[in-house]
Amino acid sequence: MGKSKLHIVIFDGTFQTTAFIRRLILGLQKEHQVYVLGFNENLKEPISRVKYVSLGDNNSKLKLSYTSIQLALQTFSIPIILNTLTRILSGKRKKLQEQNLQLQLKKINPDVIHAQWNSVLPWLEPYLTHKTYPIILSQRGFHTNVRPFINSDNKNYLQEWYPKLSGIHSVSKAISKKGKKIGIPRSHIDEVVYTGLDFSKFPAIKSSKQTDKLRIISVGRPHWIKGYTYALETMRILAEQQLDFEYIIVGAFGDEELTYLIQEFNLQDKVKLTSKLEQEEVFNRMKNASLFLLPSLEEGIANVAVEAMALGVPVISTNCGGMEELIAHDIEGWVVPIRDPQALAAQIKTFISLKEFQIKNVCIAARKKVEQQHSETKMITNMINLYHTTKNTT
What's the confidence (pLDDT) of residue 194? Answer: 95
Asked if pLDDT for residue 1 goes beyond 70, the answer is: no
Q: Where are the alpha helices (DSSP H) in the chain?
A: 19-28, 61-75, 78-90, 93-108, 121-129, 142-145, 147-150, 152-161, 173-179, 228-240, 256-264, 279-287, 303-310, 323-326, 341-353, 356-373, 376-391
Average pLDDT over every residue of 367-392: 94
Please tell me the distance from the alpha carbon of residue 288 to that of residue 140, in angstroms, as a whole number: 29
Q: How many CA atoms lie within 13 A of 192 on its CB side?
A: 15
Per-domain residue ranges of the chain: 7-54+111-196+376-391, 199-373
Question: pLDDT by residue (tens digit) across 258-284?
Answer: 999 999 999 999 999 999 999 899 999
Average pLDDT over every residue of 307-314: 95
* CATH dotted code for 199-373: 3.40.50.2000
Question: In terms of pTM, does the model score above 0.85?
Answer: yes
Asked if pLDDT for residue 255 goes beyond 60, the answer is: yes
More confident: 19 or 185:
185
Average pLDDT over every residue of 11-31: 88
What's the confidence (pLDDT) of residue 45? Answer: 82
Provide the 3-class DSSP secondary structure of residue 106: helix
Question: pLDDT by residue (tens digit) across 159-181?
Answer: 999 999 999 999 999 999 999 99
Let me know if 45 is exposed, middle or buried by CB neighbors in 10 A (0-12, 13-18, 19+): exposed
The domains spanning 7-54+111-196+376-391 and 199-373 adopt the same CATH topology: yes
Asked if pLDDT for residue 87 goes beyond 50, the answer is: yes
When the pLDDT of each residue in the chain is averaged and rounded to a whole number, the result is 93
Q: Which CATH number does the domain 7-54+111-196+376-391 belong to among 1.10.287.130, 1.10.620.20, 3.40.50.280, 3.40.50.2000?
A: 3.40.50.2000
Residue 18: pLDDT band with limits 50, 70, 90 = confident
Average pLDDT over every residue of 141-155: 93
Please tell me the distance from the alpha carbon of residue 70 to that of residue 84, in angstroms, as a whole number: 10
What's the confidence (pLDDT) of residue 42? Answer: 78
56-70, 88-102, 229-243, range with greatest mean pLDDT:
229-243
The lowest-confidence range among 122-131, 160-169, 385-394 is: 385-394
Average pLDDT over every residue of 287-316: 95
- % of the chain beyond a pLDDT of 70: 97
More confident: 166 or 205:
166
Angstrom distances, CA of residue 91 to CA of 61, 62, 84:
8, 11, 10
Find, among 393, 321, 350, 348, the residue nearest to 167 by Cα.
Answer: 393
Question: pLDDT by residue (tens digit) across 37-53?
Answer: 999 877 778 898 999 99
Question: pLDDT by residue (tens digit) across 362-377?
Answer: 999 999 999 999 999 9
Q: Which residues pair with 377 in a beta bridge?
A: none
What's the confidence (pLDDT) of residue 175? Answer: 95
What's the confidence (pLDDT) of residue 206? Answer: 58
More confident: 360 or 1:
360
- % of the chain beyond a pLDDT of 90: 83
Residue 17: pLDDT band with limits 50, 70, 90 = confident
Residue 213: pLDDT band with limits 50, 70, 90 = confident
What's the confidence (pLDDT) of residue 21? Answer: 87
Average pLDDT over every residue of 221-242: 97
Please tell me the distance from the alpha carbon of residue 177 to that of residue 174, in angstroms, as a whole number: 5
